[in-house]
Structure 1
């Protein structure tokens, strides 16, 4: 919303600046026009200069011989001098139809306006009235009269009038800008609500009505989509939980019977080995069901995270010891390798979930390497995190599996490793999978240290 407020302020200030610039440009244009067209005659002989160039001689009026008549009359089409009776005393290039006697009313008329469409200028000297005409169509000549009091009032009130006009413009800008700001702020609040997952219904009147309507429609679409996703997720969670519950009881019976058959000395060795295989595959199925339940809970936030300060060394050694006591450790050697600072480090984790993640990594190393394999559990402090690595010297990850792990694809045959990644992410850490050097697989899990 602060962004919209700044936008409105900039809009108002920009509008005021445009008004001031427009006013300045208008004044500048008037000044330019006045100076440009007012100075058109600067290079021509003025009427006063022309009048001074005429002198009375015994032969009548004559122009000063210092210049030619054309130079004296530069800018004028013709000129004449009238006496007190309106008779022409002297003329230069005067049209024949104008070479006549003029009455007082005619002189008064053309001195203010035009003489037969000729714009003329007049100048009074002792010898008479000098009349000089500019070419037709070059001079606009009209007298404008006004009250002196009105002109004085106009001059005195022009600045206050401009101030009032500017204040009115700014007031309008502020009024409309404030109304627009309120509407935009309402839309901004609506967008924040939509981003937070809430449903909004904004008023659709005003200049921002289309935008408000678009926000309303977007909110409604997101609400419907979230309802569909929630129903789908609930159905998925219920299905996983139901299947797990229905499979758990017969699976426990299969495991029990297989174990009994495996240890029944009355059976042939072949039958006992087959019973051992049934038990091993059933244990894999039980682990898969547990992983499926756990990944579903972690994905939808149904798995509580009970983080407590735990010393890293004893926890990792106990995990390694429990794995060594399991049947999977028959052809697998596990060695904890902890640096002194990592051994004494306290990590803020859910011990049961972290144990499950590391057990999945150890089980993965034991099950997917047919021959004897060496597994090392290492721990190193990395700033505010503890880095736990499980590395083996076996065959390593298949390329397809490694690609799925690195791209985040969730496939059934890497469900256990996907659970590892989810557990690390739930703790605010990461899980990375790569090939070990020179051979084998390496999984690295980072978890936060206490107080970080």
Structure 2
């Protein structure tokens, strides 16, 4: 949901930013066009008012100021003349023949603001007469616009206000559209959250997010169908494993019983009793394998109930290690237990049967994968609020292929059998812990299990009187 909120916020800010950017670009375009227009205007060295003011009276008549030559004064202009009060020409410079005549009052009024014979002209009333100067034909467009002073003043007042209102209107439109989009996207986000939790999603498909909602609906339907198929397959797998385990358990018990009887029968030759012992050992491995297979299936699909109880670590592990030492598996190994003072006082909330199976699998793994008798050291400790169990031996250690499989390397036909160690990982994970497998130094295998300690209960105070 937070992702969609950030998305909407960015959308709103981007929309407002785009509006402001367009406004500034429009102003910049006006400034650019104005600057470009100045480059297209006729280039003149001196303004017409400067030239008019520079005219002087001489004994020979009017003349351009002596500060510059006539050519310098008239740079950029086509011609110039001065008319007296009667319309006659007193002075002229480069005046075309067609314009060299007296002018009536009406003619002066006609060209004073715009053109004289298509020449753009500027006029200045001076003491010596009317100064008229013309530009080249087609070099300038002149047109007069008439308006009232009140209208100009009202424009000066309303343009900034109107500009601000337009910006506000654009921002309101962006926020309204964003709000509507946010409501649609919130519905889609809720659907995504529900879909992530495995729920069925059926979203309304109207609005701009309708296509996305429709796709989510189809995805939800497909996932629901697939989940149902997976659930049926997992149920069938679990039931098949449980059925096979149950069917194999009875004949396997008979094989173990007969093998033990034959192994203890003193009438049989020694070689026959050894073979019976081998049958018993292999049958026990097969029984352990079947139990691991059944347990890992239940743990994987959550059908194994956790009967957690609170135990003191010290007595619990002394009892578990003692039980293992009394089993036939311990005949080919030497097991020692070391517990720190912190571990002795620690508490664990665990399923005792599963924890016993975890320890049994780790100890049994050290025995089965070492041909010679091994020394196994079990250590318990507490670090922070985590209980640490370490099982290390002095055997040959884990093969690299086993460590690679435990670290999640994709399995193939050459991947070694690690079902017992996988059960250890599952039991630890079911209790909120984890397992690390590695090599012991200087030699041997080492497995470390971390489990959360039981939460300490606050002491209850007795004998306190409460007065209200």
Question: What's the TM-score once normalised by structure 2's chain length?
Answer: 0.88
**Cα pair distance change 1:90/1:413, threshold 3 Å:** same
1:375 positional shift: 1.6
1:282-331 superposed Cα distances (whole Å, 9 cap, x missing partner):
22111111111111111111112222221222222212211221122222
For the residue of structure 1 that corresponds to 2:112, the secondary structure is: helix
1:450 positional shift: 2.0
Instruction: Between 330-339 and 268-277, report the one with greater CA deviation.
Output: 268-277
Instruction: Between 408-417 and 39-48, report the one with greater CA deviation.
Output: 39-48
Match of 1:389 in 2: 390
1:358-411 superposed Cα distances (whole Å, 9 cap, x missing partner):
111222222332322222111122232222122222233333323322336676
1:16-41 superposed Cα distances (whole Å, 9 cap, x missing partner):
34434443454455456657867978
**Cα pair distance change 1:9/1:433, threshold 3 Å:** closer
1:156-186 superposed Cα distances (whole Å, 9 cap, x missing partner):
3323322332232122112211111112222
**Cα pair distance change 1:400/1:158, threshold 3 Å:** closer
Match of 1:328 in 2: 329
For the residue of structure 2 that corresponds to 1:112, the secondary structure is: coil
Query: 441, 460, 467: which is aligned to 1:437?
Result: 441
Match of 2:19 in 1: 19
Where do residues 45-444 of structure 1 align in structure 2 (5 Å cutoff)?
45-407=46-408, 413-444=417-448
Unaligned runs of 5+ in 1: none
**Cα pair distance change 1:144/1:336, threshold 3 Å:** same
CA distance in 2, matches of 1:409, 1:256: 40
CA distance in 1, matches of 2:60, 2:237: 126
For the residue of structure 1 that corresponds to 2:418, the secondary structure is: helix
CA distance in 1, matches of 2:44, 2:380: 97
For the residue of structure 2 that corresponds to 1:317, the secondary structure is: helix
8 Å contact kept, 2:201–2:220: yes
1:57 positional shift: 4.1
For the residue of structure 1 that corresponds to 2:19, the secondary structure is: helix
Query: 424, 447, 450: which is aligned to 2:451?
Result: 447
CA distance in 2, matches of 1:5, 1:386: 42
Match of 2:7 in 1: 7
**Cα pair distance change 1:106/1:333, threshold 3 Å:** same
1:131 positional shift: 0.7
1:79 positional shift: 0.2
8 Å contact kept, 1:349–1:447: no
For the residue of structure 2 that corresponds to 1:407, the secondary structure is: coil
> What is the RMSD of the two structures over their aligned residues, measured on CA atoms?
2.7
1:394-441 superposed Cα distances (whole Å, 9 cap, x missing partner):
233333323322336676732111111111121222222222222222
For the residue of structure 1 that corresponds to 2:391, the secondary structure is: strand
8 Å contact kept, 2:42–2:140: no
**Cα pair distance change 1:409/1:271, threshold 3 Å:** farther
For the residue of structure 1 that corresponds to 2:407, the secondary structure is: helix
8 Å contact kept, 1:44–1:75: yes
Question: What's the TM-score once normalised by structure 1's chain length?
Answer: 0.91
Unaligned runs of 5+ in 2: 457-468
CA distance in 2, matches of 1:41, 1:409: 82
CA distance in 1, matches of 2:334, 2:23: 89
CA distance in 2, matches of 1:416, 1:145: 100
For the residue of structure 1 that corresponds to 2:449, the secondary structure is: strand
8 Å contact kept, 2:401–2:416: no
CA distance in 2, matches of 1:14, 1:370: 72
Instruction: Between 199-208 and 442-451, report the one with greater CA deviation.
Output: 199-208
1:237 positional shift: 0.7
Instruction: Between 394-403 and 360-369, report the one with greater CA deviation.
Output: 394-403
**Cα pair distance change 1:35/1:438, threshold 3 Å:** closer
**Cα pair distance change 1:286/1:156, threshold 3 Å:** same
CA distance in 2, matches of 1:56, 1:376: 126
Instruction: Between 272-281 and 202-211, report the one with greater CA deviation.
Output: 202-211
8 Å contact kept, 2:308–2:351: yes
1:148 positional shift: 3.9
**Cα pair distance change 1:156/1:259, threshold 3 Å:** same
